[in-house]
Amino acid sequence: MQAGKRPSGGVFVAVDVHYLPCGGARAAAVVAADATFGHLLAGRTGQVAKVPPYRSGQFYLRELPPLHAVLDGLDGMTLLIVDGYADLDPAGRAGLGAYAHAEFGVPVIGVAKTAFRAATHAVPVVRGERSARPLYVTAAGMSHHQAADLVRHMAGRYRLPDALRRADALARGRPLRS
């Protein structure tokens, strides 16, 4: 899959989850026609009333139910981008992205804002006009370097690609801006 290329009938999706004060969670998805997210098709949200408590090493248990709430019924997804790691170490210990890959059956790119000590295999990607801090890119269902190249070319002039920024805003209940 090359940056900016769209397989026929497929859509590209970036997601984020926000935990609500009431104990539930709202997930948001930004849907695009191409891997650069240069042409957005839609934004959508889904909510769950309860999420399990945080458990070290089992973050996916909190994230997958809200992701299902927003992604179930979305047809033609060919790539999913999550805020976090796909795998947590060079041996392939599963992170959120690996679980999402198994759950939804599409390649998943994990884009993390902070370094995880064990994730020495993550590919650092510096984006943005003024940013010197990298994002840390991992993947499930595609190579880490291919994933890093896609993240490098995603729309937006800031460190975090616009698609993830917009998914974060939607998950927090803020309107999606063009």
Determine, yes or no, domain membership for 6. no
Determine, yes or no, domain membership for 1. no
The pairing of strands 108-112 and 135-140 is antiparallel
Determine, yes or no, domain membership for 178. no
Q: How many domains does the chain have?
A: 1
Q: How far, in Å, CA of 11 to CA of 13, rounded?
A: 7
Q: Is the pLDDT of residue 27 over 90?
A: yes
Determine, yes or no, domain membership for 4. no
Q: In this predicted model, what pLDDT tens digit does every residue of 104-148 receive, in sequence order? A: 999 999 999 999 999 999 999 999 888 889 999 999 999 999 999
Q: Read off the CATH number of the domain in which 164 is found.
A: 3.30.2170.10
Domain extent at residue 35: 11-171
Determine, yes or no, domain membership for 3. no
Q: Taking residues 58-71, what's their average pLDDT?
A: 91
Q: How far, in Å, CA of 93 to CA of 97, rounded?
A: 11
Closest CA to 64 of 76, 78, 51: 51
Q: Report residue 171 CA to chain centroid gap.
A: 12
Q: In this predicted model, what pLDDT tens digit does every residue of 32-53 receive, in sequence order? A: 999 999 999 999 999 999 988 8
Q: Is the pLDDT of residue 7 over 70?
A: no
Determine, yes or no, domain membership for 30. yes
- DSSP state at residue 127: -
Q: Is the pLDDT of residue 103 over 60?
A: yes
User: What pLDDT shows up at residue 9?
Assistant: 54
Determine, yes or no, domain membership for 5. no
Give the phi and the psi of residue 167 in degrees, each rounded to 5: -65, -40
User: What pLDDT shows up at residue 52?
Assistant: 85
